[in-house]
A and B are shown apart, each in its own frame.
Chain A
Amino acid sequence: MTYIKPKFAHPRLPENKLGYTRKEYEGSLSTLCAGCGHDSISAAIVDACFELNIEPHRVAKMSGIGCSSKTPAYFLSNSHGFNSVHGRMPSVTTGANLANRSMIYLGVSGDGDTASIGMGQFTHVIRRNVNMTYIVMNNGCYGLTKGQDSATADYGSISKSGHVNSFEGIDLCGMAIELGATFVAQSFSGDKAQLIPLIKAALSHSGFSLINVVSPCVTFNNNQGSTKSYDYVREHNEALSSIDFVPVREEILTEYDHTKLKVVEMHDGSLIKLNKLSPEWDPQDKLSIMTALHKSHERHEILTGLLYIDSESVELNELINTTNVPLNTLTEKELCPGSEILEQICSDLR
């Protein structure tokens, strides 16, 4: 008669390099519907942060409003968080990022929060290349208000009430690539083997990284005819490659067969290894992925995996040359360096 997560853990729970177990990365018990895809994504975030040996206090969880934006309560309870106004998570994150660039910013949003009310914010956070990971928990419906079609619901998708969607859905990944996003991936909440390495790669990417995760709404959008149901996504999932993420400093012993394996080196020296590549696509070639996305749309397939990466990405703080230290640690000494420095600046302008 209780609904509390027991404090017991497995006695042989593995520890990461920091000596933490997965338990230290978990959050409180989910209040989302049983079987919600969002919970699987939360679990994937827990696994990714655990495996990357991230200190929980270095993460800031940013979210807006919606079922998806509730999830930061269900993972990384030892991290910082900000639950912002509906659709306004990107600008709050931009502000936080400029004030303290040493944190790892993990934005969690939904299809309503991103593709409807927050669309303007979404485009500009991409344009500015804010150093953050932006996860869209995309279920194609407004689950919190009883499952109306959202802006990402596919054309022809049938809702639980039998209504056929007559509008084209917004392809967030295609749009992000078009807008110049430097890391774009698509995945499925029911495929952790793919999702976890993608989150790890996204967290290690310097600049804006988007992961659009199709996450079925068990209550309102898991019916026959829906294009975001567990069954439909499993049948139409077309993985571009299988993905491995090798964090920086991990020794690499084997030589690669470059005909079968593509290795992308990231900003910090980490590697993304892509196996069983789809032949007509290169994750560093924008044109090839745009073509692949359009073709998959015609074939009613959902392309998943790492779609596009620009490993030369320059993130916002580097671009505008901000200070490396958090603003709240700056003292009067740094902020008011005195009349000599002022004189020097003025003379430079003359």
Chain B
Amino acid sequence: MYFEKVKAEYVDGKRKLIPTGEPDVFYPADDVIIAIGQENRFEWIERDLGIEFDKWDMPVVSPETFASTAPKVFFGGDAALGPKNVITAVAQGHQAAISIDLYCNGLDISDRPAPDTKLFSTKMGIHEWAYDNDVTTDNRFIVPQADKKETLSNRLKEVELGFDLATAFKEAQRCLNCDVQTVFDEYKCIECDACMDICPTNCITFTTNEDDENSLRMKLLVPAINQEQELLVSDTLKTGKVMVKDEDVCLHCGLCAERCPTAAWDMKQFNYNTAKAGHLCYA
């Protein structure tokens, strides 16, 4: 199989493959499987409809409203902003649907409805949470595969067999519960240090605040060096100290909330529902 040599160049942040002009390269192979990609082609759209196209021959689409330059035409998925994954395509579809709905109701399409968010306590009783707070030390489980002899001879045979029930359960237990947030109420805190003492990863520190965030980061029980992860810093407490939590190492195990005598800590689940067309918030 011969391959043409190209090099990647970035023009306005977009990747472009340009032939280097060098001779083609030969790779010997037993078998060659051709995978065909997909691309956007819009030859079928007449260019006098009022839909503007850019230099890549892609429609000009707003990344917020997914409206084209023609007021009644909307795009979503690969056709809108280029190929991404299916989750993005669905989300864009929702946004386009909201725009269509607003447009049909005679409303401003740039006035977007907010997503529906909720934060609610998962406390159910002593040592009981509505989520599974156990932290497992298991490594990732390997998905078993069918025998190669079989999968290579029968192309309809699925390669990954999937987990059995027990392993699937264990794999699910590895969930980090990042939807469950540690929420701190300053006015309830009596500064008994119980949360600081119990935290298995020493991510909670009660200390005096600093003007400079970096010096505060270095003052924690274990310095918080991952600058990409913001610190949770409370308001000033009664004794003049603040509670600082390094979110970088939190296991969401809930022990801080468990050992808090005044429920100043609570494990709250964060729910996010994306806004959808026909939502009541603009009715």
Residues of chain A at the chain B interface (Cβ within 8 Å): 1-14, 22, 29-30, 33-37, 39-40, 42-43, 189-190, 192, 216, 218, 222, 230-231, 234
A11 touches B249 (CB 8 A): yes
The residue that A5 contacts in the complex, of B129, B200, B223, B262, with Cβ under 8 A, is B200
B261 touches A4 (CB 8 A): no
B190 touches A35 (CB 8 A): yes
- Write out the residue numbers on chain A whose beta carbons fall within 8 Å of the beta carbon of B251: 6, 8
The residue that B222 contacts in the complex, of A1, A12, A30, A189, with Cβ under 8 A, is A12
- Write out the residue numbers on chain A whose beta carbons fall within 8 Å of the beta carbon of B198: 5, 29-30, 39
User: Taking the complex as formed, is B95 at the interface, i.e. its CB lies under 8 A from any CB of chain A?
Assistant: no
- Write out the residue numbers on chain A whose beta carbons fall within 8 Å of the beta carbon of B261: 33-35, 218
User: Taking the complex as formed, is B153 at the interface, i.e. its CB lies under 8 A from any CB of chain A?
Assistant: no
Closest 3 CB pairs of A and B: A35-B261, A6-B135, A43-B197
5 contacts between A and B (CB under 8 A): A35-B194, A35-B260, A35-B262, A39-B194, A42-B197
Cα distance, A5 to B194, chains bound together (Å)? 14
B258 touches A3 (CB 8 A): yes
- Write out the residue numbers on chain B whose beta carbons fall within 8 Å of the beta carbon of A216: 192
A7 touches B137 (CB 8 A): yes
User: Taking the complex as formed, is B97 at the interface, i.e. its CB lies under 8 A from any CB of chain A?
Assistant: no
- Write out the residue numbers on chain B whose beta carbons fall within 8 Å of the beta carbon of A5: 198, 200, 255
User: Taking the complex as formed, is B201 at the interface, i.e. its CB lies under 8 A from any CB of chain A?
Assistant: yes
CB distance from B35 to the nearest CB of A (A): 40
Q: How many residue pairs between the two chains, A and B, have CB atoms under 8 Å in the bound complex? A: 96
B238 touches A234 (CB 8 A): yes
Cα distance, A69 to B251, chains bound together (Å)? 31
- Write out the residue numbers on chain B whose beta carbons fall within 8 Å of the beta carbon of A218: 190, 192, 261
- Write out the residue numbers on chain B whose beta carbons fall within 8 Å of the beta carbon of A40: 192-194, 197
A192 touches B193 (CB 8 A): yes
A36 touches B200 (CB 8 A): no
- Write out the residue numbers on chain B whose beta carbons fall within 8 Å of the beta carbon of A33: 261
CB distance from B247 to the nearest CB of A (A): 13
- Write out the residue numbers on chain B whose beta carbons fall within 8 Å of the beta carbon of A30: 198, 259
Residue of B at shortest CB range from A3? B127
B127 touches A1 (CB 8 A): yes
- Write out the residue numbers on chain B whose beta carbons fall within 8 Å of the beta carbon of A3: 127, 258
A1 touches B133 (CB 8 A): yes
